[in-house]
Amino acid sequence: MELTHALRSTGSIREFTDQRVSDEVLYEILDDARFAPSGGNRQAWRVIVVEGERRQQLRELYLDGWHDYVAHVLSGNVPFSPLASEQERVAAFSKRNDAIALSNPAGFAETIDRVPAMLVVLADLGALAATDRDLDRYQLVGGASVYPFVWSILLSAHEHGIGGVITTVLTLHEAEAREVLQIPDNYAVAALVALGVPVRRATRLRRRRVEEFTTRDTYDGESFRRHDVH
């Protein structure tokens, strides 16, 4: 697949056919993804291919977290925003029962245990160069050594005719997931990746234009445009 096409067409896929993703294809996807960049080339990721009854256990954890996510949306707030006020948190909590009532038996969260392939990606906390560790704000820099790998999984999957989605909802119940999957304390749950043959694939992804998120010199500088001459 041509790279530009892959970058512009690898959207999130949550609906899959019943076709199985073979171990051979899954191995090839991971074999491609392992070349993702990481801090110090420490490759701070570990992958668990989840099968059997553990899937049902993760589904219960995931669905509970999904209800919390939807409750935030119903309250008009960005789910789990690091900048959320106490009032916004309370508003989200008050919508939890409404979120549960909206649960769709055929929805992605409700059927996540039946996705063709389920990967839980872990981050080795001891291998992350988290340069924002000591800043008085939400920490995110360490993810730069893990999430390129996760994204590479989706890019390689696309090349193999497979679709998928990166989701972090399971992290809301990391302690319980740690017990289910026997994850050591020095690893964090970075993502759950669901893969399968797509029922359909979006042909036109919607994203903001470059001019809407890029400026020159300062945060509020002039928009960066294709034909600017300086």
**Token pair of 81, please?**
């925003």
Higher pLDDT, 226 or 157: 157
Decide which of 3.90.1150.200, 3.40.109.10, 3.30.1130.10, 3.10.105.10 is the CATH code for 3-213: 3.40.109.10
Kindly state the average pLDDT of the residues 97-118: 96
| pLDDT (tens digit per residue) in 170-229 | 999 999 999 999 999 999 999 999 999 999 887 778 999 999 999 999 999 999 998 765
Residue 169 burial (C-beta neighbours within 10 Å; 0-12, 13-18, 19+): buried
Pair type for strands 45-49 and 117-124: antiparallel
Kindly state the average pLDDT of the residues 79-108: 95
Q: What is d(CA 190, CA 180) in angstroms, rounded to the nearest whole number?
A: 16
DSSP conformational letter for 122: E
User: Dihedral of CA 197/199/201/202: which sign?
Assistant: negative
Q: What is d(CA 212, CA 214) in angstroms, rounded to the nearest whole number?
A: 6
Given this model, what pLDDT does residue 229 score? 57
| pLDDT (tens digit per residue) in 45-80 | 999 999 999 999 999 999 999 999 999 999 999 999
- State pTM to two decimals: 0.93
Partners of 188 in the beta sheet?
Answer: 123
Residue 211 and residue 228 in contact, taking contact as beta carbons nearer than 8 Å: no
